[in-house]
């Protein structure tokens, strides 16, 4: 179950970063974030993107959605 929780966490992080990528600069300013901070956060996911794709397929298979 610990592995499944880690998979779910990776999936949530990826989804959150994808949403962050689409936030307009005006809104970023409203929430007190700079484009630099966003870019820095988005680079964190680049190494995990490869893992995420494989993990996502595995997760879907495990829960019977694939």
Q: What band does 34 get if pLDDT is binned at 50, 70 and 90?
A: very high
Q: Is residue 63 part of a domain?
A: no
In a domain, 34, yes or no: yes
The predicted model scores a pTM of 0.56
Span 18-26, mean pLDDT? 90
**Considering the domain boundaries, does residue 7 fall inside one?**
yes
What's the angle, vertex CA 10, arms to CA 39 and CA 44, rounded to 5? 25
State pLDDT tens for residues 40-63.
888 875 546 667 667 777 777 788
| 46 is a domain residue | yes
Q: Is residue 11 part of a domain?
A: yes
Contacts of 35 (CB under 8 A, 6+ apart): 25, 28
pLDDT value of position 41? 85
pLDDT of residue 31: 92
Give a yes or no: residue 66 inside a domain: no
Percent of the chain with pLDDT over 90: 24
């Amino acid at each position: 179950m610990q592995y499944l929780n880690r998979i779910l966490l990776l999936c949530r992080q990826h989804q959150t970063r994808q949403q962050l990528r689409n936030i307009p600069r005006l809104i970023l300013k409203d929430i007190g974030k700079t484009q630099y901070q966003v870019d820095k956060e988005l680079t964190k996911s680049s190494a995990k993107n490869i893992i995420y794709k494989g993990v996502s397929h595995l997760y879907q298979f495990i829960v019977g959605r694939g």
